[in-house]
Amino acid sequence: MNRNVLISGASIAGPALAYWLGRHGFNPTVVELAPALRGGGQAVDFRGDTHLTVLERMGLLPELRAMQTGGSPMTFVDEGGRTLLHLPAEFAGGAIEVLRGDLAQLLYERGLDHTEYLFGDSITGLTETSSGVRVDFRHAASREFDLVIGADGLHSNVRRLAFGPEEDYVSHLGYYAATWQLANERGWGRGSVGHNAPGRLASVGADHRDPARAGAFFVFAAPALSYDRHDPEQQKRLIADAFSGLGWEVPRLLDSLRRAPELYFDSISRADVGTWSRGRVCLVGDAACGATIGGMGTGTAMVAAYVLAGELARAGGDHRAAFARYEDRLRKYAKGCQTGGDRTGKFLAPGTATGLRFRNGLLSKPVFLNWMLRLGEKVSSDVALPDYAAEPREPRRRTGAAR
């Protein structure tokens, strides 16, 4: 009955899907390249009735409200530190904003009783058989699963193996983004303070949990760059070159970058997959229809996990029917949310001085700002959610959780 399901990726979509599959009586296994759950990370938000309904049905709302950051106001300043534009916390933070690492930990704990986790490993091969999918791992012995789900993000390994090379599905949107941690020696407060030059944004704000720490967030316009995604020193050089000569706090922030032990660096891109499933393999979250920043990816991933698990349960494990209904229900919704990511780079770092003045002037008007907030809530709620009436199972501890 297609009950044994392998999920690639333990960020948000993967653990959320494992939770719901377990509630419906499936046996999920999650494989994750990292040696453990990734902590920290940027804040992620939920907004609108659809997001909140899924969180309520998972029973997560009280805990998420207890750990929420309170939102992240954004202030844009000139080179001398004078405010040009201030955006309130709800603009970026939605109804609930939490740290990505906190959300991932909560999802992991909620589904642990019925989920096997394989950390520090990855899929190297997928071969569909008459009864399932033979999966080869980098370290673990090969195994056969009934279904395989790619919940492994924009640069999905499952999508590459089952659908084709990344360049066939991922489009560069003209910008790159970077984040890293540093000591909060300047006493940065809640939210972020940023300085723009055409095509560039350098910003910094206090860590939500530890005010002695701060986080830098840089965005810059560039065509598709050739670099090693696993070479942080090369990435640091690209960032330093892109922001060379910029004033304000940029030289000090670049100096902290040189010493930063960890760096997130990636293009702002969009994934477009013509069909989200192929045989017994299906994609969920950013792997299917994601955007690096600004595409409501976290909320969409949570909704998609709920619907995919529910449709598999409703179809009695018939993956063909379930995958088709899952995509039919969510494709238009996910694409609508995703389009916000197309504008993120241009919003954060307009390419011209005229564009910067236009953005600052327009968003300084309360009427326009409120319209944008209402539009975000409308887009994030533009889908009808079935009630799959999942009944909790008796908890049973899966083995082989960590390696």
pLDDT tens-place string over residues 237-265: 999 999 999 999 999 999 999 999 999 99
Model pLDDT, residue 86 = 92
How far apart are alpha carbons 238 and 149 in whole angstroms? Answer: 34
- 4: which 2 tokens? 């044994």
Model pLDDT, residue 12 = 93
Residue type, 177: A
pLDDT tops 60 at residue 127: yes
How far apart are alpha carbons 271 and 277 in whole angstroms? Answer: 14
List of long-range contacts for 342-345, beta carbons under 8 Å, 24+ apart? 342/173, 342/270, 342/291, 343/294, 344/173, 344/175, 344/268, 344/291, 344/292, 344/293, 344/294, 344/295, 345/173, 345/174, 345/175, 345/219, 345/221, 345/268
DSSP summary character for residue 113: G
pLDDT tops 60 at residue 403: no
Q: Is 364 helix (H, G, I), strand (E, B) or coil?
A: coil
How far apart are alpha carbons 4 and 307 in whole angstroms? Answer: 18
Give yes or no for a contact between 345 and 13, defined as CB atoms under 8 angstroms apart: no
Q: What stretch of H or E contains 375?
A: helix 366-380
Q: What stretch of H or E contains 61?
A: helix 61-67
The per-residue pLDDT of the chain, averaged, comes to 89
Give yes or no for a contact between 90 and 74, defined as CB atoms under 8 angstroms apart: no
Model pLDDT, residue 370 = 78
- Please calculate the CA angle 376-382-386 and round it to the nearest 5 degrees: 140
Q: 308 CB contacts (<8 Å, ≥6 apart)?
A: 17, 20, 149, 282, 284, 322, 326
Strands 192-197 and 277-278: unpaired
How far apart are alpha carbons 62 and 48 in whole angstroms? Answer: 17
Model pLDDT, residue 398 = 53
Strands 147-150 and 4-8: parallel
Select from 155, 118, 153, 106 the least CA-distant residue to 28: 118
The number of CA neighbours under 13 Å toward the Cβ of 48 is: 21
Select from 231, 265, 228, 324 the least CA-distant residue to 42: 265
Mean pLDDT on 73-86 = 94
Select from 313, 347, 358, 308 the least CA-distant residue to 328: 308
Q: What is the pLDDT of residues 345-392, one digit of tens each?
A: 999 999 999 999 999 998 888 887 777 777 666 666 778 889 997 544
Which residue do the tokens 């970077």 mark? 178
Model pLDDT, residue 199 = 97
Give yes or no for a contact between 45 and 100, defined as CB atoms under 8 angstroms apart: no
pLDDT tops 90 at residue 29: yes
Question: How far is residue 382 CA from its own chain's centroid?
Answer: 20
Low-confidence winner among 36-50, 96-110, 265-279 (lowest mean pLDDT)? 36-50
Q: What is the pLDDT of residues 92-114, one digit of tens each?
A: 656 788 888 899 999 999 999 99
Q: What is the pLDDT of residues 182-215, one digit of tens each?
A: 999 999 988 899 999 999 999 999 988 888 999 9
What are the beta bridge partners of residue 8? 31, 150
